Amino acid sequence: MRLSLARSRLAFVMVKRFAFLLILISVLVACATSPTGRRQLMLVSEQQAISASKTAYAQTIQPLEDAGKVDNDPALKRRVVGITERLVAQAVKMRPETANWDWSVKVIDEPEVVNAWAMAGGKMAIYTGLIRKLNASDDEIAQVMGHEISHALANHQAEQMSIALATTVGVAAAGAVSDRPGLTTTAASAAAALAIKLPNSRTAESEADRIGIELAAKAGYDPRAAVTLWEKMAKLGGPQPPVFLSTHPSPENRRETLQALIPQMMPYYQSKQPRPVFKLH
């Protein structure tokens, strides 16, 4: 009896060590590099994150469409699309392979919701509450959407999903390498939907700030709006801060960091080069 129990304990320890080894190997081999050159943990491939996001996007948008809350204001929709098409054109210049993404943006009529997001693969949304509560200018909307597009460009959703896998004991570690078969379609779409609701890491936020302000400046939008945007956002804080502030944590030095980037971005903004557009789906 004691011998059997000892063997069981030994087997359990060996299984734990083997699982840990598999996860460690996965971490070592499943790395990627962001547009800023940062090394990223990638247990979930970008293509898998994009596939999962298609399901998550439909699950997020369909109830809002059924409630008549999507693209209600044609003038506002044209305004948002016009800004976003210029930003996406610059995103595609930065990562040409993203020209094949299904880029699109929805304007969600939720007057009290201050939020915006972009999923892997280019599906985006902005809420009317963000535009109207902030009285956002085109330049400020460009900073918001540029920031969100940057999360997609830098593969932050797949990175979030990968970190969740790496830190969850009992996930199919053996399937974490290669095509990650251990991540089921249902689990992947749930993780993708959750990714737009969970806070981004400060590293991801700083990276999206840096890429986003550059995209906006190259698209012809004033980089100084990045600072005024966050000044307005800070005034909306309080006991119940906007959703945007919960999913986009704001370090105390965020405005100072963006302010320091402005001199580098002004030449892009002041350039006389044409500002191309990329037609959204």
**Strand order across the 104-108 sheet:** 104-108, 123-127, 116-118
Average confidence (pLDDT) over 161-185: 50
Q: CB under 8 Å to 137, separation ≥6 — which residues?
A: 225, 228
Q: One of 140, 148, 159, 214 is an active-site residue; which one?
A: 148
- For the cut 70, the answer to whether the pLDDT of residue 60 exceeds it is yes
- For the cut 60, the answer to whether the pLDDT of residue 7 exceeds it is no
Q: What is the pTM of this model?
A: 0.80
- For the cut 90, the answer to whether the pLDDT of residue 237 exceeds it is no
Query: pLDDT tens-digit profile of 240-275?
Result: 678 888 778 776 688 999 999 999 999 999 999 999
Cα–Cα distance for residue pair 93/238, rounded to 1 Å: 39
Confidence tier at 176 by pLDDT (50, 70, 90): very low
Q: Which residue has the higher pLDDT, 243 or 137?
A: 137
Q: Which residue has the higher pLDDT, 168 or 243?
A: 243
Residue 91 identity (one-letter amino acid): A
Query: pLDDT tens-digit profile of 191-217?
Result: 566 566 666 777 888 999 999 999 999
Is 65 an active-site residue?
no
- For the cut 60, the answer to whether the pLDDT of residue 168 exceeds it is no
Average confidence (pLDDT) over 7-15: 50
Strands 116-118, 39-41: pairing kind: unpaired
- For the cut 50, the answer to whether the pLDDT of residue 62 exceeds it is yes
Q: Which residue, among 204, 199, 212, has the nearest Cα to 145 in the 3D structure?
A: 212
Average confidence (pLDDT) over 184-190: 57
Residue 173 confidence (pLDDT): 38
- For the cut 50, the answer to whether the pLDDT of residue 278 exceeds it is yes
Cα–Cα distance for residue pair 92/35, rounded to 1 Å: 12
Query: pLDDT tens-digit profile of 112-135?
Result: 999 999 999 999 999 999 999 999
Residue 37 confidence (pLDDT): 65
Lowest mean pLDDT among 89-103, 221-235, 246-260: 246-260
Q: Angle between the 156-166 and 2-29 helix axes, to the nearest 10 degrees? A: 160
> Average pLDDT, whole number, for the chain?
81
Residue 172 confidence (pLDDT): 41
Check: CB of residue 122 under 8 Å from CB of residue 151.
Answer: no
Residue 186 confidence (pLDDT): 57
Helices (H) and strands (E) in the chain, counts: 11, 5
Give the containing element (helix H, strand E) for 125: strand 123-127
CA 241 to chain centre: 20
Average confidence (pLDDT) over 50-70: 94
Check: CB of residue 41 under 8 Å from CB of residue 30.
Answer: yes
Confidence tier at 229 by pLDDT (50, 70, 90): very high
